[in-house]
Amino acid sequence: MSTFQAPKGTYDLTPPRSATFLAVREAISAPLRDSGYGYIETPGFENVELFARGVGESTDIVTKEMYTLTTKGGDQLALRPEGTASVLRAALEANLHKAGNLPVKLWYSGSYYRYERPQAGRYRHFSQVGAEAIGTEDPVLDAELIILADQAYRSLGLRQFRILLNSLGDKECRPVYREALQTFLRDLDLDEETRRRIEINPLRVLDDKRSDVQKQLTDAPKLRDYLCDACKAYHEEVRALITAAGVVFEDDEKLVRGLDYYTRTTFEFVHDGLGSQSAVGGGGRYDGLSEMIGGPELPSVGWALGVDRTVLALEAEGVELDLPATTSVYAVPLGEEARRVLFGVVTELRRAGIAADFAFGGRGLKGAMKSANRSGARYTLVAGERDLAEGVVQLKDMESGEQTAVPLTEAAAELAKRLG
């Protein structure tokens, strides 16, 4: 065993489980690719200030969980704790919003880093697939993203997830609510750090998971009572659109999400089979974020879905994905000449788009056939000196056990025909 291990709170993805993670990424991104979202990739680290401004200085992410480093040149960098700020920064830098086709619709997939207390479903390195629609204020866009996430989860076979929905208001009505909430919170019995948060971002206090805090919040003023007419109308339109699409959701007036940049529509996907880490994804509208990071006014909306948590949700529901076998044909050569000839057949099969593997290392028939079995291959090609002298290879159907001699020159064509 190696003396080195993966750092605390991280994980390695290895076969065969890694195939499930790839399938989940594919399933989440497929509806996006079919809906006009283009792929974007950003660096694993950014300027610290991007997240301080964008995510919010009062958030746990920035104050406690961000991995920061100082370069040899003295620059302050942070490993990215989330995707939205980076994607918006990249879109602004590339002037995508000036290309004349708004919204700019982007999707991404990658690893993110937070210094968390590790537990099942909460890691210090985690994987997400995300989507952002930048530059347009339209309830249809909010609805589209919620519907696409719902579609992705249903295509995987998930059924026991719930969608929570709320509106956080906008720059017109939220300040009035903020003031009412601050007045209420200042009279509560709270620790010093929470009191500091009241002055910076009081909505985050509503998100506090501690029971002694939640008990005191029972009579807290409700945001819905403070929404302006424009925000109410916008929220009702989003609700009507996703209802018409057959997407079931629950109104959750306490849902605020953990990032400062959200406005109006906010939503979360939760799965009750995951214990305390029940959120599998979420997002919302962030109309002011572009200006917060020095860009023009660009109303936008997006979400991120956790790949690792989605895999845990599948396991909790007992859903097994129908993953294709990584190998369709396994070649077993017996002798030096057969090694050369069968490797040529394997190369030909691969060029024809057939997944083929080979018994490397000159093992005997018994050991090689065990490997063929483990590979999940549907067919095995076996050839020895006598077969080659007769110009044939033995083609074995691993399901039925039936074995037939096939002319060597026709082996690739025969396999292509059988595999469809």
Q: Model-level pTM?
A: 0.89
Q: Which pLDDT does position 172 carry in this prediction?
A: 87
pLDDT tier at 260, thresholds 50, 70, 90? low
Q: pLDDT tens across 313-322, in order?
A: 999 999 999 9
Report the percent of the chain where pLDDT is more than 70: 97
Q: Indicate if the pLDDT at residue 7 is higher than 70.
A: yes
Q: Indicate if the pLDDT at residue 398 is higher than 90.
A: yes
Q: Which pLDDT does position 29 carry in this prediction?
A: 97
Average pLDDT over residues 286-292: 90
Average pLDDT over residues 295-301: 95
Q: pLDDT tens across 12-30, in order?
A: 999 989 999 999 999 999 9
Q: Which pLDDT does position 259 carry in this prediction?
A: 62
Q: Which pLDDT does position 275 carry in this prediction?
A: 77
pLDDT tier at 93, thresholds 50, 70, 90? very high
Could you say which architecture CATH assigns to the domain 17-173+227-317?
Answer: 2-Layer Sandwich (3.30)
Positive or negative CA dihedral for 15, 21, 24, 25? Answer: negative
- The secondary structure of 337-393, three-state, reads HHHHHHHHHHHHHHHCCCCEEECCCCCCHHHHHHHHHHHCCCEEEEECHHHHHHCEE
Q: Tokens for 169, please give them.
A: 């208001």
Average pLDDT over residues 77-104: 94
What is the strand order of the sheet 125-134 is part of? Answer: 38-39, 104-113, 125-134, 300-306, 279-285, 263-271, 161-167, 250-251
The total of other beta-carbon atoms located within 10 Å of residue 115's CB is 16
Determine if the peptide bond prior to 16 is cis (ω within 30°): yes
Rounded to whole angstroms, the Cα distance separating 370 from 394 reads 17
- Residue 163 phi, psi (nearest 5): -110, 120
Give the DSSP per-residue string, 92-127: HHTTGGGSS-SSEEEEEEEEEE-----BTTB-SEEE
Q: Indicate if the pLDDT at residue 42 is higher than 80.
A: yes
Q: Which pLDDT does position 394 carry in this prediction?
A: 96
Q: Which pLDDT does position 1 carry in this prediction?
A: 59
Q: Which pLDDT does position 347 carry in this prediction?
A: 96
Output the CA torsion 55→57→58→60 (10° steps).
60
Average pLDDT over residues 100-125: 90
The total of other beta-carbon atoms located within 10 Å of residue 215's CB is 9
What is the average pLDDT value for the chain, to the nearest integer? Answer: 91
151 and 168 Cβ atoms separated by less than 8 Å? no
Q: Which pLDDT does position 332 carry in this prediction?
A: 96
Q: Which pLDDT does position 219 carry in this prediction?
A: 87
Q: Indicate if the pLDDT at residue 273 is higher than 80.
A: yes
Q: Where are the domains of the chain?
A: 17-173+227-317, 329-418
Half-sphere exposure for 261 (CA within 13 Å, toward CB): 30
**Is it true that 17-173+227-317 and 329-418 share their CATH fold?**
no
Q: Indicate if the pLDDT at residue 113 is higher than 90.
A: yes
Please give the span between the terminal C-alpha atoms of the chain, in angstroms, as a whole number. 43
Q: pLDDT tens across 159-170, in order?
A: 999 999 999 998
Burial class (CB in 10 A: 0-12, 13-18, 19+), 41: exposed
Q: Which pLDDT does position 27 carry in this prediction?
A: 97
Q: pLDDT tens across 339-388, in order?
A: 999 999 999 999 999 999 999 998 889 999 999 999 999 999 999 999 99
pLDDT tier at 2, thresholds 50, 70, 90? low
Q: Which pLDDT does position 136 carry in this prediction?
A: 96
Q: pLDDT tens across 183-232, in order?
A: 999 988 888 888 888 888 788 788 777 888 888 888 888 888 899 999 99
Of the candidate CATH numbers 2.60.40.10, 3.30.420.40, 3.40.50.800, 3.30.300.30, the domain formed by 329-418 belongs to 3.40.50.800
Average pLDDT over residues 132-140: 97
pLDDT tier at 59, thresholds 50, 70, 90? low
Q: Which pLDDT does position 58 carry in this prediction?
A: 58
Average pLDDT over residues 128-136: 97
Rounded to whole angstroms, the Cα distance separating 236 from 292 reads 27
Distance from chain centroid for Cα 405: 47
Q: Indicate if the pLDDT at residue 116 is higher than 70.
A: yes
Q: Indicate if the pLDDT at residue 292 is higher than 80.
A: yes
394 and 383 Cβ atoms separated by less than 8 Å? yes
